[in-house]
Amino acid sequence: MNTDMSVSTWQAELAVDCRCTLGEGPQWDADNERLCWCDILEQRLHWLSPISGESGHYQLDHMVSLAAPLDSGGLLLVGEDRLSRFDPSNGSTETFCDFEADNPITRSNDARVDRYGSLWLSTMGKSAEKNAGSLYRLHRGRLTRLRSNLTIPNAICFSADGQFAWFTDTVTGVVMRWSLDSEGWPQGEPQPWADFSSTTGNPDGAVVDSEGCLWLALWGAGRVVRLDHNGQVIGRIELPVSQPSCSAFAGQDLKTLYITTAQEGFSAEQLAQEPTAGSLYVVETGVKGLADPLLRLE
């Protein structure tokens, strides 16, 4: 792992002072020019319009970790026990299918749409129970389990050409890379790609930019690192809070990087030291992101 102090460094600034308990799943909705993100534990879907600066949230009736824009309009909510269609214009929700509804221990966690318009999504134990989580792919409306016996699956993202997927089980500290076939299905076993097991912070959410580099949140380290094609650190974003969770490129030119954070598990003393923990942060790196395909259910 590259520890060279000369790597490019940026400072993130406060974008929305929302103070989520567990901010997660930032997602750019290009058609509506809105960034959406979730406060999983408080059952809220937040939004920001970068152009107007307006922001707000929807109160939901269950935990949700991602709101993915659909090719048919609206959003698909990845929830603790179901996947649901959501209409932002009126806040209405319609269940699409169950999602580990028979397992009260788990909830949804990380998720991202792949280059084929399918959704990769994961579950984990509500108390991070060991090996309780799984990784799935929702392809044209059909849900397939890809992997089980994971504890905190994270860092789901994809190469621009659709040939590779990345993910991690956060507790291992290792980001894995998985070869994909011509329809986006995994081939063989995933291979270790970047090892953070001996560094400060644990790998959390990730996103890939237009140059093929991966931006990885390091939970507990107050940092997002940029990794090159070989998994080496070539850049880092410093935050004034310790628990960044995931990043997303947003805006018309996809050159603005937003970062969700959390205050989960904080003591009163930690909250006093990091009063804006759980808020949304922003940074201009000069690097352009990749447009996420719309999710296809048919």
Residues with catalytic annotation? 204
Phi/psi at 263 (nearest 5 deg)?
A: -125, 20
Residue 107 labeled ligand binder: yes
Residue 204 labeled ligand binder: yes
Residue 195 labeled ligand binder: no
Cα 218 to Cα 212: distance, rounded to the nearest angstrom: 19
Residue 19 labeled ligand binder: no
Residue 202 labeled ligand binder: no
CA 250 remoteness from chain centre: 13
- Give the amino acid at 155: A
CA angle 292–293–295, rounded 5-degree value = 120
Which tokens sit at 131?
Answer: 């090996």
**Which parts are annotated binding residues for substrate?**
107, 109
**Which parts are annotated binding residues?**
24, 107, 109, 154, 204
**Which parts are annotated binding residues for a divalent metal cation?**
24, 154, 204
